[in-house]
Amino acid sequence: METQTMKATNLKLKEFFVHQLKDIYWAEKELFKTMPKLQEAATTPELKDAFGQHRRQTQNHVERLEQVFGMVHEKVDASKCHAMAGIVGEGEDLIDETAKGTAQRDTGLIFAGQKAEHYKIAAYRGLASLAKTIGYNNAAEVLKQTLAEDKAADALLTQIAEQHVNYQLN
């Protein structure tokens, strides 16, 4: 039997979950807008392709989040993600501060991309776990799909760095 304390705790957990959902929704939409800048700034064909591929995935991430809002009976809404805003700003500064066509720029873009992916991995891991705790098992499964894709994107960036960018002499 659920007590008043348990109901209040679940309500607070759901409020926190929804706040975090709004946060990552904003982050995904911001990344979707930023990806073309990263793709254009990249020199290595593999890195350009990776940013293009991840932009398409990011659109799917946005759509999945919209599904999750529906699954938890909440209105789709975004709340500025200050962490992602900082990561995106840092990436834009990096483009401005490095020479076009250099390994230094590509290395910096990989760092910026991985910072974004690591933030998202942490967010999706936490959201999936919390969704399961609250009893939103279907939402947890949807969130885990995106988590797996972000882990793969991070691994791809590492592979590009280790096999291409880190060994260029410019």
Reply yes or no on whether the pLDDT at 151 is more than 80.
Answer: yes
Tokens matching residue 45: 């064909």
At residue 128, the 3 state secondary structure works out as helix
What pLDDT does residue 11 have?
Answer: 85
Q: Which residue has the higher pLDDT, 45 or 170?
A: 45
- Distance CA(138)–CA(26), nearest Å, equals 22
Amino acid in position 40 = E
Q: Answer whether residue 61 is part of any domain.
A: yes
- Distance CA(44)–CA(67), nearest Å, equals 35
Tokens matching residue 136: 């939103």
CATH number for the domain harbouring residue 67: 1.20.1260.10
* pLDDT (mean) for 3-19: 78
- Distance CA(51)–CA(74), nearest Å, equals 31
Q: Answer whether residue 36 is part of any domain.
A: yes
Q: For residue 8, what pLDDT band results from cuts at 50, 70 and 90? A: low
What pLDDT does residue 163 have?
Answer: 86
Reply yes or no on whether the pLDDT at 166 is more than 50.
Answer: yes
Reply yes or no on whether the pLDDT at 39 is more than 50.
Answer: yes
Please check whether residue 109 is in contact with residue 49, taking contact to mean a CB–CB distance below 8 angstroms: no
Q: Answer whether residue 1 is part of any domain.
A: no
Domain that holds residue 83: 14-167
What pLDDT does residue 98 have?
Answer: 92
Q: Answer whether residue 3 is part of any domain.
A: no
Q: Answer whether residue 27 is part of any domain.
A: yes
**Average pLDDT score over the chain:** 92
Q: For residue 170, what pLDDT band results from cuts at 50, 70 and 90? A: very low
pLDDT tens-digit readout, 63-118: 999 999 999 999 999 999 999 999 999 999 999 999 998 889 999 999 999 999 99
Give me the number of domains the chain comprises. 1
Q: Answer whether residue 123 is part of any domain.
A: yes
Q: Answer whether residue 41 is part of any domain.
A: yes
Q: Percent of the chain at pLDDT above 70? A: 92
